[in-house]
Amino acid sequence: MFGRIDHIGVAVEDIDAAMELYRDGLGMREQHRETVEGFGVEAVLLEVGDGHVELLRPLSAESAVGRFLERNGPGIHHVAYQTDDIDSALGEVRAAGLRLIDEEPRTGIRQSRVAFLHPKATGGVLTELVEAAH
Ligand code: CO
């Protein structure tokens, strides 16, 4: 169902401070930066081989990532798996009885199609499926 881990999403309060760690400290290159209004975040994709770290800064305290930061502070927010066909992948996890947050794919970073599974269905690990734009 999944090709690889696409990215690890990390919630941050300050993108510039996080870049000092990831770019200057850990040597990761910034590949892409985008404000994703639908998710209420500014996002930065950092290169790690074929995968990424996705830094997420909430645009408001009421966004999902804003509420996450309020509850948990900065840290790992989600794991994203790459799929070539998100519609069939969603069908498979739904058929397996897993609860979804997104019944239908939404538009994510770089015009990808994404959908989140409910963390209560995935052992507390917020899980995202990603189909890259073609
Ligand atoms: Co993500």
Q: What is the per-residue pLDDT for 66?
A: 98
- Residue 24 CA to ligand 1 centre (angstroms): 22
Whichever domain contains 96, its CATH number is 3.10.180.10
- Residue 62 CA to ligand 1 centre (angstroms): 18
pTM for this predicted structure: 0.95
Under-70 pLDDT residues of the chain: none
Q: What is the per-residue pLDDT for 29?
A: 98
Q: How far apart are alpha carbons 44 and 62 in whole angstroms?
A: 20
- Residue 35 CA to ligand 1 centre (angstroms): 13
Q: What is the per-residue pLDDT for 57?
A: 98
Number of domains in the chain: 1
Q: How far apart are alpha carbons 13 and 127 in whole angstroms?
A: 21
Residue numbers of the domain that contains 88: 4-131
Q: What is the per-residue pLDDT for 134?
A: 80
Q: How far apart are alpha carbons 106 and 114 in whole angstroms?
A: 5
- Residue 21 CA to ligand 1 centre (angstroms): 19
